[in-house]
Structure 1
């Protein structure tokens, strides 16, 4: 059962609109193919009512009304009336699963609590509503008041209910406790359907899900991206992967290839980003960074595991940066359909490592620009070097540049102002070349672009068209800073003339 739309919505700062809930409900049941969804809490708001009604209307048309569940309360039938108006057919009734909660929050005896629960179950039955029962704080109940928990379960197993839902409400259980408690309960009540609802406060949510299944639990409550109160709930994607890979005794019908798509949509709706290293759905989890790993992948898939990205509708990537070896770059070149000889590959590798050392991010889309820049730079013998410069831009003052450059072994320095930093740089350069009695080409076009489709802020390419006599020619510069990339393009021009 996916409870993203109910328990996941308890993530601080998250609230789905009615249309978002309907969209996700359709995806969860129709494409991802979870068995059930818990979509809302009864009585909370008019928005919740409309969300449930819209989902139920859609579910009715598609024959899956019984797969849509609503959290309800022991309130004398108010929740049941709310559900009837919305058309919902399955309630998940919230009750107290520990003596501590019962005594201090409800201030009732077990017998008084059971009597009010029985009343609500009967009202639901009369209204044609199926009942499942949550034992809130069940995990603490098993730790500290097992006699009460078994008294409660003895009562519930005699009631006309479908499932008993056992939540680790505060995420306190270890994996050994989860197995032990559930194994004991399932053996004691072999004819009853039990669900496990895990939270992730100790980052043990997936481990506890695994042990719950081993113990014979019949259902699991999970959320997309592990959303939920505090540290969240057991995450759906990781739990499905673990079940499919390590628990051959059970099977799910969840469509693994849709996990990533639904994950991204939930992230977009909630504004909560997915950590880059989050298993299965994080941006980096199928990215090899070290060059030795890319090399190993090319040699009998040495760094592959059962967690293949294609299972989840994704692709393996090879990061570019200071850890990149030639193998990483070669993998990216293959995807782009590009070929370099060994010497060219060495030069491109050196440039990418240089960018990585500057903490700049490089993407596959940047590669053609880097290749162009590196190979273009090696097409002439460098005699002119821009050694140093200071670019200033202050409010109320004209931009200025102080420039130091080397030509044929001699250093020249000049300062100039201009309409912008690059204009000031060019004015300083003209001063130097005036001393050399050399006329510089005329700048006739200036364009800046970033790699299309790239998410990187590391690189931009500046293309400058120059005119010298009747001839036009273009030079390019590549850097993370637009003005610096223009200066690099200018330095190439100086060497070409």
Structure 2
């Protein structure tokens, strides 16, 4: 594949991605995602299907009003009415979907091959007469007779379509079939590829399509979509850039984009997800950690900063001395060789018990081994939370540098209210960002225990703490207080919160 090739990405998170079970985006969320896609340099944003309903058309119109650099489009069935509805949303273009396989021509639509050709030519001419950019998608193209698929796309291009699209609608094809089909269509004119991941071949087929001549790839952020999802935008982008030297988008925007879509859709990222998963640049193995500390590229295909990430060294049963030494150094803790060996042994022992070793665990072990005990600056003395009324409320009693402070707060739930109370009691000392909040495990039975893990960041330091309690509110607040205690500088006075 020639690195000088121009390949662009079409993102359909707001249409095909939203068709994933349980995913529904509000107009505001669609606007936020569309802006993020535009910042990343995505060439085409498919904002939705105007035929879905009034709410969908409002969302599409909100996106078209943003005046993005990206082309904004709508999905359309093989109906003039769908094109009219898209025009009402002031989109730049449309994707006209027509049946390509006999299964869809006869079984789904109940028509004939000849009628599909006539309808395709009519729809393309109609859309072009209204100054729309037009892409024609042959639905189920990977299972179509290739001679007929070629005839459909030739008809579309002859009628004025800007490009044809090979669609592996059900993730059925392998790379050989994809390459053969796209190569034939590329002889006719500009061609796109729309691949799904049902066989785990989404990226492979997208790359095969580009190799065969496709210059536009349909994808979704985080691989959202029906069934096993669409091909993931971040995976296509980094594969084209890293393996073939083909630049498509601003790679440094990929992680923030993935996080935004995950929050908006409520679909969490798998830890082992390529490019954007939590573990993608996390090293625990002693051999890997030691190698990474010696050479950043030792166990990584590309630097994490390439995609807006940071490298993490995790501690667990596989941790070695090099990783423990590096983790201690991040917290300003010195240990001699004998102390380091003992700390590393205890970390391994804790990991052997199935525990993820948090920053707080490591520092507690280090303090015990070195004898360098520290006095807490912030401690939780008491907590009361109620959620029976219309507004959940909570009050906390803290010890802050030896001074007792009491504060109350309200929130959307008891945990939120309690956290607000803690921030009220600590004032500016609580100006730390909550990077993650995770309910790690809940044991069953009458003695059920919930484990809450939080990661907080302040200035140039972050700390991860886990606490286990019978009550999720207390576990959450205790974890947050423990994290803040680690982040607050004990040598500086903790000011009282300002009076309103």
1:227 corresponds to = 224
1:72 and 2:46 are equivalent in the alignment: no
- Indicate conservation of the 8 Å contact 2:51/2:85, yes or no: yes
Residue 275 of structure 1 and its aligned partner are, at CA, apart by 0.4
- Indicate conservation of the 8 Å contact 1:366/1:459, yes or no: no
Aligned length: 388
CA deviations over 1:306-363 (Å, ceiling 9, x no partner): 3221111111111111111111111212322332111221221122112112211112
Distance across 2 between alignment mates of 1:481 and 1:4: 37
Larger Rg: 1
Q: 1:249-398 counterparts in 2 under 5 A?
A: 250-252=246-248, 254-301=249-296, 303-376=298-371
Distance 1:92 1:293, change over 3 A: same
Distance across 2 between alignment mates of 1:479 and 1:225: 28
1:18 and 2:27 are equivalent in the alignment: yes
Distance 1:345 1:82, change over 3 A: same
Structure 2 spans left out of the alignment, 5+ residues: 1-9, 375-403, 405-431, 441-450, 454-464, 471-500
Distance across 1 between alignment mates of 2:299 and 2:197: 28
Partner SS for 1:94: strand
1:146 corresponds to = 146
Distance across 2 between alignment mates of 1:72 and 1:195: 17
Distance across 2 between alignment mates of 1:328 and 1:359: 19
- Indicate conservation of the 8 Å contact 2:120/2:152, yes or no: no
1:422 corresponds to = none
- Indicate conservation of the 8 Å contact 2:15/2:46, yes or no: yes
Q: 1:46 aligns with which of 54, 65, 89?
A: 54
1:166 and 2:174 are equivalent in the alignment: no
Residue 274 of structure 1 and its aligned partner are, at CA, apart by 0.4
Distance across 2 between alignment mates of 1:15 and 1:322: 40
1:237 corresponds to = 234
1:93 corresponds to = 96
Distance across 2 between alignment mates of 1:122 and 1:172: 31
Residue 455 of structure 1 and its aligned partner are, at CA, apart by 5.8
Residue 103 of structure 1 and its aligned partner are, at CA, apart by 1.4
- Indicate conservation of the 8 Å contact 1:362/1:459, yes or no: no
Structure 1 spans left out of the alignment, 5+ residues: 380-444, 446-451, 461-477, 484-497
- Indicate conservation of the 8 Å contact 2:146/2:181, yes or no: no
CA deviations over 1:379-404 (Å, ceiling 9, x no partner): 9xxxxxxxxxxxxxxxxxxxxxxxxx
Q: 1:215 aligns with which of 199, 212, 215?
A: 212
Distance across 2 between alignment mates of 1:366 and 1:37: 45
Partner SS for 1:157: helix
Residue 52 of structure 1 and its aligned partner are, at CA, apart by 0.7
Residue 148 of structure 1 and its aligned partner are, at CA, apart by 1.6
Distance across 2 between alignment mates of 1:23 and 1:258: 14
CA deviations over 1:144-163 (Å, ceiling 9, x no partner): x2232122123122111111
- Indicate conservation of the 8 Å contact 1:198/1:221, yes or no: yes
Residue 378 of structure 1 and its aligned partner are, at CA, apart by 10
Distance across 1 between alignment mates of 2:272 and 2:323: 19
CA deviations over 1:55-111 (Å, ceiling 9, x no partner): 11112xx5x3x7001001222x21122122211120101101112210122222222
Distance across 2 between alignment mates of 1:267 and 1:251: 24
1:463 corresponds to = none
Residue 364 of structure 1 and its aligned partner are, at CA, apart by 3.1
Residue 291 of structure 1 and its aligned partner are, at CA, apart by 0.6
- Indicate conservation of the 8 Å contact 1:351/1:374, yes or no: no
- Indicate conservation of the 8 Å contact 2:18/2:225, yes or no: yes
Distance 1:11 1:459, change over 3 A: closer
Distance across 2 between alignment mates of 1:302 and 1:195: 34
Structure 1 segments of 4+ aligned residues over 6 angstroms from their partners:
456-460
Distance across 2 between alignment mates of 1:297 and 1:182: 41
2:422 corresponds to = none
TM-score normalised to the size of structure 1? 0.72
Larger mean CA deviation between 227-236 and 337-346 belongs to: 337-346
Residue 174 of structure 1 and its aligned partner are, at CA, apart by 1.0
Distance across 2 between alignment mates of 1:482 and 1:126: 66
Distance across 1 between alignment mates of 2:352 and 2:467: 13
Distance across 2 between alignment mates of 1:378 and 1:337: 14
Distance 1:72 1:279, change over 3 A: same
TM-score normalised to the size of structure 2? 0.72
Q: 1:200 aligns with which of 197, 200, 211?
A: 197
1:429 corresponds to = none
Distance across 1 between alignment mates of 2:31 and 2:452: 41
